[in-house]
Amino acid sequence: MDEEKKVYSVIGTVTIGTDEYRDLIESRMEVEKSKDYYMRESWRKDEEIKKLKSQVDALTSKIKKCEKFFKNNHDASGDVISVFMSIFGED
């Protein structure tokens, strides 16, 4: 990525100890690590939601087929098991 060069309004000098400088750098790295973790978790959850929605759609379709079958064949004496096997497959 192209990083813009920052322009600051006051140019001067600040003196801090190496231990404070190290703490600042480590804090920044921890924040970056935490951000990356939560972004990955968010993407993982989005994928899981997408997968679950797909499963819900498939099951909704099968339920609608069952409803249609029972609505149209409420007094049928045929082989109900074979009808359900054709709707749901052999899972």
pLDDT in tens, 1-26: 567 888 888 888 889 999 999 999 99
Average pLDDT over residues 24-41: 96
pLDDT number for residue 24: 95
pTM above 0.75, yes or no: no
pLDDT number for residue 2: 64
Nearest CA to 85 out of 62, 67, 57 is that of 62
Confidence of residue 67 (pLDDT cuts 50, 70, 90): confident
In this structure, of 1-5, 41-45, 62-66, 72-76, the range with the lowest mean pLDDT score is: 72-76
Q: How far apart are CA 40 and CA 48, in angstroms?
A: 12
| 29 CA to centre of own chain | 25
Q: Going by C-beta distance under 8 Å and a sequence separation of 6 or more, which residues neighbour residue 84?
A: 66
Residue with tokens 């968010």: 42
Question: Could you state, in order of their start, the residue ranges of all structural domains in the chain?
Answer: 18-88
The mean pLDDT of the chain is 85
Indicate whether 91 pLDDT > 60. Answer: no
Q: How far apart are CA 43 and CA 73, in angstroms?
A: 45
